[in-house]
């Protein structure tokens, strides 16, 4: 979830928090053990495999390309690309005789062979952007080389842990095209490793893992591709992102910092203030996942700690949480129109009362008793001049945003079971399908389909009377 947070004076701090979440999304999944099936097949988003890996079914494609929009480009303009990714580091355990083993117990602690990762970040300045504005020129390129290496850690009583890294090679290219008052900046990252992989392990070892970009603009500004200004929409429509999507980031309203992510986000993404730390799975609710960690046995926690130092940190953090820390994970109910007490300028020139945090009278915000003014069983919403409430018959008209399941219900008659309002101020109409033989059963245990008011049509009396 995303909530307003107090930002550091350095917008890069907030941007890096989100970038780190992208970097480690899916790195290691609950229950954080090497033996878990879900952790036997890795890696995560933003993998740039070596050339030939994808064609041979051994890895991911070698490149990603991001198109973003700049305004105010001059000869003094430049961008600095921060390329961030993980380099695989294989941890191999060896017994006292020097043989490779899957695990080894040393003084009561288990050492496990495992693929770790080392964070890498390279800063690449591009200072000749305006040269390619009109007409576009050859892309400006910058080579990226990361050394390999090997470290040996001796274990007490014999045996060792060998950590090995393989060299990485990549190219980052930048080019610009003029489109009226706007310039399209194209950034491409390509794995340029000279060796072709022969196995999946070869491909993974020479891949850029979790690759993404933080891009700083100097003497020019980025334009949102999600909500572009007048005149930029055509440029956005002609741009096709390839495994990397651009989002404005940093302090709200600033336009000199951009996140290029392999995960689709939104402008100015934030890490929720209630989040106590990374869990490597942003599709989970922190509270639920933390509670799941607390249910693990001592043996399971010991294996998780031995699997990866980052997993050990998660286990330790969850175990050290106080009841107050756990309560903090549950979040709070905020007025969606409020940004830490800052009131937006009114469109009509009339200033309303400042929006306040919702007062639940001491009841937990998730408890229906927190707001007795709403009741799905009696509330209604007006659609085409007709009040729609529990018991109304409507025809389902899913819109473009509907998913495949909703589209299957197009033009079917449904019975309204309740009208609900969420904390964002949106209205949802709960229904069961009249032709569904299990409609009464669904209604009995509360399994409803939900549609927006503009996705339903009231039935006329004549239509309701038809057999």
- The string of pLDDT tens digits covering residues 225-248 is 999 998 899 999 999 999 999 999
Pairing assessment for the beta strands 100-101 and 78-94 based on DSSP bridges: antiparallel
Sequence spans of domains, the chain: 11-323, 374-465
Which distant-in-sequence residues (6+ apart) come within 8 Å of 36 by Cβ? 29
**Nearest in space to 67 (alpha carbons), one of 247, 211, 229:** 247
DSSP string of 178-194, one letter each residue: EETTEEEEEEEEEE--S
Q: What is the pLDDT of residue 182?
A: 93
Under-50 pLDDT residues of the chain = 1-9, 135, 137-138, 336-357
The answer to whether residues 454 and 399 touch, using CB atoms and an 8 Å cutoff, is yes
Q: Nearest to residue 46, comparing CAs of 209, 255, 217? A: 209
**Facing residues of 260 across strands?**
213, 246
Token pair 């503009």: residue:
454
pTM over 0.75: no
Q: Which pLDDT belongs to residue 47?
A: 97
The two tokens of residue 382 are 């007006």
The DSSP code for 349 is S
Instruction: Determine the pLDDT at residue 463.
Output: 58
pLDDT at 242: 96
Q: Please tell me the chain's helix, strand, coil percentages from 3-state DSSP, rounded to the nearest 5.
A: 20, 30, 50
pLDDT value for 401: 65
Cis omega (within 30 of 0) for bond into 352: no
| Alpha carbon distances (Å) from 52 to 45, 56, 204 | 19, 6, 12
pLDDT at 266: 93
Q: Judge contact between 226 and 264, C-beta under 8 A.
A: no
For 374-465, the fitting CATH number among 2.30.30.30, 2.40.30.60, 3.80.30.20, 3.40.50.2300 is: 2.30.30.30
Residue 157: predicted pLDDT:
86
Q: Cα–Cα distance between 364 and 333 in angstroms, integer? A: 9
């Amino acid at each position: 979830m995303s909530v307003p947070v107090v930002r550091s004076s350095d917008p890069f701090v907030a941007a890096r928090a989100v970038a780190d979440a992208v970097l480690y999304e899916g790195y290691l999944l609950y229950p954080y053990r090497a033996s878990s099936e879900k952790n036997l097949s890795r890696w995560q988003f933003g993998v740039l495999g070596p050339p030939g890996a994808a064609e041979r079914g051994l890895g991911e494609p070698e490149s990603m390309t991001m198109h973003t929009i700049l305004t105010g480009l001059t000869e003094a303009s430049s961008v600095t690309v921060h390329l961030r990714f993980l380099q695989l580091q294989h941890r191999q355990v060896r017994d006292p005789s020097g043989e490779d083993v899957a695990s080894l117990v040393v003084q009561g602690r288990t050492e496990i062979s495992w693929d770790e990762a080392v964070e890498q970040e390279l800063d690449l300045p591009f200072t000749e952007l305006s040269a390619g504005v009109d007409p576009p020129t050859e892309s400006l390129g910058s080579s990226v080389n990361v050394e390999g290496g090997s470290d040996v850690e001796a274990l007490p009583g014999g045996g060792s842990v060998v950590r090995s890294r393989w060299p990485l090679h990549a190219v980052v290219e930048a080019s610009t095209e003029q489109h009226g008052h706007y310039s399209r900046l194209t950034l491409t990252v390509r794995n340029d490793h000279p060796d072709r992989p022969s196995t999946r392990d070869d491909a993974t070892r020479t891949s850029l893992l979790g690759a993404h970009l933080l891009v700083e603009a100097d003497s020019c500004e980025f334009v949102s591709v999600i909500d572009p200004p007048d005149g930029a929409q055509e440029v956005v429509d002609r741009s096709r992102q390839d495994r990397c999507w651009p989002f404005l980031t940093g302090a709200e309203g600033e336009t000199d910092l951009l996140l290029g992510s392999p995960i689709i986000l939104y402008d100015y993404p934030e890490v929720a203030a209630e989040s106590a730390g990374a869990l490597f799975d942003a599709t989970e609710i922190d509270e639920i996942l933390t509670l799941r960690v607390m249910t693990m046995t001592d043996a399971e926690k010991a294996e998780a700690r031995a699997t990866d130092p980052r997993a050990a940190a998660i286990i330790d953090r969850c175990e050290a949480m106080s009841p107050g820390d756990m309560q903090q994970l549950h979040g709070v109910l905020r007025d969606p129109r409020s940004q830490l007490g800052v009131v937006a300028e009114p469109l009509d020139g009339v200033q309303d009362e400042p929006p306040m945090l919702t007062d639940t009278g001491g009841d937990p915000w998730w408890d229906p008793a927190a707001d007795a003014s709403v009741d799905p069983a009696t509330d209604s919403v007006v659609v085409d001049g007709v009040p729609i409430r529990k018991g109304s018959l409507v025809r389902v008209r899913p819109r473009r945003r509907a998913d495949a399941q909703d589209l299957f219900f197009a033009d079917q008659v449904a019975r309204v079971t309740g009208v609900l309002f969420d904390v964002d101020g949106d209205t949802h109409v709960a229904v069961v399908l009249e032709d569904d033989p299990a409609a009464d059963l669904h209604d009995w245990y509360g399994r409803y389909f939900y549609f927006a008011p503009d996705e339903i049509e009231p039935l006329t009396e004549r239509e309701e009377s038809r057999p």
